[in-house]
Amino acid sequence: MRTLLLLSLIGALLGIGPGPAVDAAQAAGGCYVTASSATLRSAPSARSTALGVAYRGNRCKEKDWRGGWTKVAMTSGGAKGATGWVRDDLVHTAAEGVRTCIPEDVACHQ
């Protein structure tokens, strides 16, 4: 695992390879809020009740997907412990290759 992580980091620094390294949490459905903020909602709709707000870099665990929305359980930040729906474009995993500026995205921290 350490060798794979080291090779992934070297590849990311050189701009080659599959992208940022994926840790065990991400492999198990871990995600991050990548927008400046994301409103957690009671249902997969912009018209549903707002339950809370998560901010860039807050960690989450994906629970379900429906029509452009992801149901997440927040695992860090002020919304830790809350579960709700957020738009798909507001949360990502490092494995998606999206420039996320999360801790695992080495390219954002150069």
So what's the pLDDT on residue 67?
93
Q: What is the pLDDT of residues 45-68, one digit of tens each?
A: 999 999 999 998 899 999 999 999
Count how many residues are written for the chain.
110
* Model confidence at 15: pLDDT above 90: no
Average confidence (pLDDT) over 16-30: 48
Residue spans of the domains in the chain: they are 2-109
> CATH number of 2-109: 3.30.460.80, 2.30.30.40, 2.60.40.1080, 1.10.1060.10?
2.30.30.40
What radius of gyration do the chain's Cα atoms show?
15
So what's the pLDDT on residue 86?
97
* Model confidence at 74: pLDDT above 50: yes
Q: Is the pTM of this model over 0.85?
A: no
Sort strands 59-66 and 37-41 into parallel, antiparallel or unpaired: unpaired
Read off the tokens for 15: 């701009």
Interacting residues of 109 by C-beta distance below 8 A, sequence separation 6+: 101
Q: Can you give the three-state secondary structure of 24-55, one letter per residue?
A: HHHHCCEEEECCCEEEEECCCCCCCCEEEEEE
